[in-house]
C-alpha cells in the first residue's frame, strides 16, 4: 500500500459525502406539501448535488470539471433509475405473499 492510501480517511470522507449527498434532496423536498412540486424539486436538487459533487471530485483529482460532473451525474441518474426499477419489481413480486419465498421477500422489504 502506498503512503497516500489511508482507509480510515477514505471511510470517514465517504460517510460524510454520502450523508451530505443524501441530505440535500431530502431538505429540498421536506417542506413542500404539493406532491408533484416535491418530486420536481427533489429531481432538481439531486441533479444539482450530483453535478456539484462530480465537479468537486474532478477538481480535487485534477481532472476536467465537466467530465467529472457528467460522469457522476449519469452514474447517479442510472443508480436512481435502477433503484426505482428494482423497488417496483420487488413490490410486484411481494404483493401476494402467498408462498414462503415471497413471504421472506416481503419480510425483507419491510
Residue with cell 452514474: 75
Q: Is residue 103 part of a domain?
A: no
Q: Is residue 106 part of a domain?
A: no
Judge whether residue 66 has pLDDT over 90: yes
Q: Is residue 69 part of a domain?
A: yes
Number of domains comprising the chain: 1
Q: What is the pLDDT of residue 81?
A: 83
Mean pLDDT of all residues in 62-85: 89
Q: Is residue 63 part of a domain?
A: yes
Q: Is residue 22 part of a domain?
A: yes
Domain that holds residue 60: 7-85
Q: Is residue 56 part of a domain?
A: yes
Rounded to whole angstroms, what are the CA distances from 11 to 4, 17, 18, 108?
A: 14, 10, 11, 27
2-50 pLDDT per residue, tens: 577 778 888 888 888 888 888 888 888 888 889 889 988 988 999 999 9
Cβ contact 69:57 at 8 Å: no
Cβ contact 110:94 at 8 Å: no
Q: Is residue 34 part of a domain?
A: yes
Q: What is the pLDDT of residue 13?
A: 84
Q: Is residue 99 part of a domain?
A: no
Cβ contact 26:40 at 8 Å: no
Q: How confident is the model at residue 86 (pLDDT cuts 50, 70, 90)?
A: low
Rounded to whole angstroms, what are the CA distances from 90 to 6, 19, 55, 101, 107?
A: 38, 26, 34, 12, 12
Amino acid at each position: 500500500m502506498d503512503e497516500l492510501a489511508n482507509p480510515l480517511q477514505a471511510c470517514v470522507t465517504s460517510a460524510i459525502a454520502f450523508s451530505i449527498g443524501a441530505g440535500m434532496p431530502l431538505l429540498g423536498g421536506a417542506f413542500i406539501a404539493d406532491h408533484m412540486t416535491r418530486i420536481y424539486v427533489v429531481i432538481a436538487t439531486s441533479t444539482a448535488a450530483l453535478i456539484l459533487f462530480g465537479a468537486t471530485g474532478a477538481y480535487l483529482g485534477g481532472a476536467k470539471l465537466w467530465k467529472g460532473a457528467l460522469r457522476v451525474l449519469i452514474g447517479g441518474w442510472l443508480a436512481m433509475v435502477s433503484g426505482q426499477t428494482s423497488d417496483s419489481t420487488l413490490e410486484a413480486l411481494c404483493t401476494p405473499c402467498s408462498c414462503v419465498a415471497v413471504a421472506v421477500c416481503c419480510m425483507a422489504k419491510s
